[in-house]
Structure 1
Amino acid sequence: MAKFGGDDLGPWSEFGTVAGMVVSRNGDDLSSSSGLGDNPDLDGLPAVTGFGGAPLAGPEVAEAVRELAPHPVPDGYDNRVDADGDGLDDDATYRGRADGGVEILVDLNGDGRTDFIGADTDLDNRVDFAGYDKDHDGDFDKRMYDDDGDGYLDRSVWTEGS
């Protein structure tokens, strides 16, 4: 079989190479049998059942969507953070975490990109660990931890290449 669009997944490509050609030429319904046998699962994703139809859904898909969806900040959560250590509270954005905690995001140099992400995993208004982009290049190069739970980040780990 010839390669179409760089793929060589065969006649049952769930991405629609051959099926798309058949439908565009004949206007056939993809749910009808073509005589080529059962449709094998090549990628573990839900099968494509037609063009323009609603996507398939099931318990696995619903769970994946819940994990990717934004999580709300718990009601009543109110925290202040001084990510740059200048003694003043920084403007921060808060977002919920899948584990029930909160992430605290701060743009330290005003370029519109987050340079600090702190995690308050137990909602005690203390950052449990944080990532820093110290040179503001978009790559987080330092991770700090509050090992004793006192609210101060005591230990630093630099990433490779920083």
Structure 2
Amino acid sequence: MSQQDGDDLGVWSEFGTAAGMTVRDLAAGGEAPGEPHTGLGDRPDLDGLPPVGATSGFGSAPSSPDLAEAIRGAAPPKGYHNRVDADGDGHLDKATYLGDGHGGAEILVDLDGDGRADFVGHDTDLDNRVDFADYDKDHDGFFEKRMYDDNNDGLLDRAEWTHDS
């Protein structure tokens, strides 16, 4: 139990002492103790990675990108426009196009309408053919499948599944 000095504030009686001393010193013609600091300071960088949305490369990420965040990412290469049928239903899907930061483009498609990409196609040479694509097949936010166009004919030929699928 702490000792109280008899005032009404109890243990809170010391609250504001530093501010009171600063005001007293300034009133007596003293100098301010320096520039005041407010807030909690800069946000620490805990992982050393670039901030989300600062770079592209979503297909290599372990989880599906948020399309709203992706739109704020890298602009697609000038004049680039591609069309994809990401779900294979015979109809072209609405897509978001981004630059990949390496001279290619990424094609993001939200197949289930939840605001997250379930398909990310990578056109590494801007020939309007997807060279490889990542799929979130069960719409859980993680890509389980990657398909490759091995012979550059515009059709994805080979699939690799992650160890967690």
TM-score grouping bracket, smaller chain normalisation: 0.5 to 0.7
Write out the 4+ residue segments of structure 1 that deviate beyond 6 Å after TM superposition. none
Which residue of 47, 54, 77 corresponds with 1:68?
Answer: 54
Letter in 2 for 1:143: R
1:78 to partner: Cα distance: 1.5
Work out which structure has the larger RCO, using CA pairs closer than 8 Å and 6 or more positions apart in sequence.
2
Q: Does 1:112 align with 2:115?
A: yes
User: Within 5 Å, which residues of 2 pair with 1:39-58?
Assistant: none
Matched pairs, number: 108
Q: Report the Cα distance in structure 2 between the residues aligned to 1:80 and 1:121, rounded to whole angstroms.
A: 15
Q: 1:87 to 1:68 in 2, by over 3 A?
A: same
1:85 to partner: Cα distance: 0.3
Normalising by the residue count of structure 2, what TM-score does the alignment of the two structures yield?
0.58
User: Within 5 Å, which residues of 2 pair with 1:18-97?
Assistant: 27-28=33-34, 68=54, 70-97=73-100
1:68 to partner: Cα distance: 2.9
Letter in 2 for 1:92: A
Unaligned runs of 5+ in 2: 1-21, 23-31, 43-49, 56-72
Which residue of 114, 117, 123 corresponds with 2:126?
Answer: 123
User: Which residue of structure 1 lines up, in the alignment, with residue 70 of structure 2?
Assistant: none
Q: 1:121 to 1:27 in 2, by over 3 A?
A: farther
CA RMSD for the aligned pairs?
Answer: 2.7
Q: Does 1:146 align with 2:149?
A: yes
Partner deviation per Cα, 1:93-124 (whole Å, 9 max, x = no partner): 01111101110000111122110001001000
Q: Report the Cα distance in structure 2 between the residues aligned to 1:74 and 1:110, rounded to whole angstroms.
A: 26
Give aligned-pair identity as a percent.
62
